């Protein structure tokens, strides 16, 4: 179903309360119970009296309990709503399988679906569970260890151009999966890219950064991967990053230097790293780097 101009506005600006009020009127004409839900939730944002707030919340809860199952039934089979706004799915989750790309394409036709979570399918999860441990992903020479085998083929068939958040956390796709994702059709609209615990190394990070498909990313979650200093240097292609999580990657002093030299260094609002990730020499580099904002330099001086 093609989005109306008002629906497209709300996809782009989901916090526009006036637009939601106008959309409530549209839904009322269609006898859609979400019209009443929007009305109640908008009133709740304006109400200051405790008694009225409790009454409104109670009615919201009853209305949601009555209709949410039928509202979620608008999603394709195999697609789960994991976040909602006024009863509409805004983030959906899909377990990876040969059918996943088609299911995702259909799910993204939802009126306000702009966030996607891709989870490992059964075969991939079983293989990962068999090999997974809390041990480091690096050997005694600080070189990345091989990942367990799994299926992550088909990423190149994805078209994620219509979403703002792509979440693959804990799906151990490794460099092959990252390369497939780099080849996926996309209009570069993703602002949040969550790749925590994905087993991606420097080659995969370089492929994602160089693809141009994720040039709009502001928040990059790369915790506990297999990144080295070389991989951090490749991240420079993500020129618009404001929040960066690189914890539990052994990037060393070379990685710290690469961060300092990155084009986004001066725009960083949040940088998550541990002392052991960058080494003592890396801490000193970050603490004295004029390219970093003052608050970040101060943080590293206190480490």
Q: Which pLDDT value is given to residue 277?
A: 96
Whole-angstrom Cα distance, residue 115 to residue 165?
A: 5
Q: Has residue 39 been placed in a domain?
A: no
Q: What is the mean pLDDT of residues 170-195?
A: 88
Q: For the segment 131-164, what is each residue's pLDDT rounded down to a tens digit?
A: 544 455 555 555 555 554 455 667 888 888 788 9
Q: Has residue 128 been placed in a domain?
A: yes
Helices (H) and strands (E) in the chain, counts: 12, 8
Which helix (H) or strand (E) element contains residue 194? strand 192-194
Q: Is residue 298 over pLDDT 70?
A: yes
Whole-angstrom Cα distance, residue 207 to residue 231?
A: 10
- Rounded to the nearest 5 percent, the helix, strand and coil shares of the chain are 45, 15, 40
Q: Which domain holds residue 280?
A: 120-301
Are the beta carbons of 184 and 208 closer than 8 angstroms? Answer: no
Q: Which pLDDT value is given to residue 149?
A: 47
Q: Which pLDDT value is given to residue 123?
A: 53
Whole-angstrom Cα distance, residue 281 to residue 251?
A: 12
Q: What is the CATH number of the domain that holds 192?
A: 3.80.10.10
Q: Has residue 69 been placed in a domain?
A: no
Please state, in angstroms and as integers, the Cα–Cα distance from residue 90 to each residue in 53, 151, 165, 271, following that order. Answer: 25, 27, 10, 27
Q: Which pLDDT value is given to residue 212?
A: 82
Output 125 or 203, whichever has higher pLDDT.
203
Q: Has residue 241 been placed in a domain?
A: yes
The total of structural domains in the chain comes to 1
Whole-angstrom Cα distance, residue 260 to residue 144?
A: 24
Q: Has residue 296 been placed in a domain?
A: yes
Structure tokens at 207: 């492929």
First to last CA, the chain: 53
The residue written with tokens 């230097």 in the block is: 257
Q: Is residue 127 over pLDDT 90?
A: no
Q: What is the mean pLDDT of residues 180-188?
A: 80
Output 166 or 138, whichever has higher pLDDT.
166
Q: Has residue 91 been placed in a domain?
A: no
């Amino acid at each position: 179903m093609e989005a109306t101009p008002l629906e497209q506005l709300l996809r782009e600006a989901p916090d526009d309360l006036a637009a939601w009020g106008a959309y409530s009127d549209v839904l009322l004409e269609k006898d859609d119970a979400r019209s009443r839900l929007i009305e109640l939730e908008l009133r709740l944002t304006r109400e200051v009296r405790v008694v009225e707030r409790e009454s409104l919340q109670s009615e919201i809860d009853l209305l949601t309990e009555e209709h949410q199952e039928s509202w979620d039934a608008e999603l394709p089979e195999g697609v789960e709503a994991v976040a909602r706004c006024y009863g509409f799915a805004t983030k959906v989750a899909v377990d990876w399988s040969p059918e996943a790309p088609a299911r995702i394409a259909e799910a993204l036709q939802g009126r306000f679906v702009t966030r996607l979570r891709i989870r490992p399918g059964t075969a991939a999860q079983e293989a990962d569970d068999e090999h997974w441990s809390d041990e480091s992903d690096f050997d005694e020479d600080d070189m990345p260890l091989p990942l367990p085998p799994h299926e992550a083929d088909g990423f190149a068939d994805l078209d994620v151009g219509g979403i703002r958040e792509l979440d693959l956390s804990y799906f151990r796709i490794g460099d092959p999966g990252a390369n497939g994702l780099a080849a996926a059709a996309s209009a570069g609209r993703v602002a949040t890219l969550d790749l925590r615990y994905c087993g991606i190394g420097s080659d995969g990070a370089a492929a994602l950064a160089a693809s141009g498909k994720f040039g709009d990313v502001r928040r990059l979650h790369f915790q506990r991967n297999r990144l080295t200093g070389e991989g951090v240097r490749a991240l420079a292609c993500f020129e618009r990053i404001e929040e960066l999580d690189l914890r539990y990657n052994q990037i060393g002093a070379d990685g710290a230097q690469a961060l300092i030299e990155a084009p986004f260094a001066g725009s960083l609002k949040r940088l998550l790293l541990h002392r052991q990730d960058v080494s003592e020499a890396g801490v000193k580099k970050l603490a004295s780097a004029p390219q970093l904002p003052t608050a970040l330099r101060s943080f590293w001086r206190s480490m």
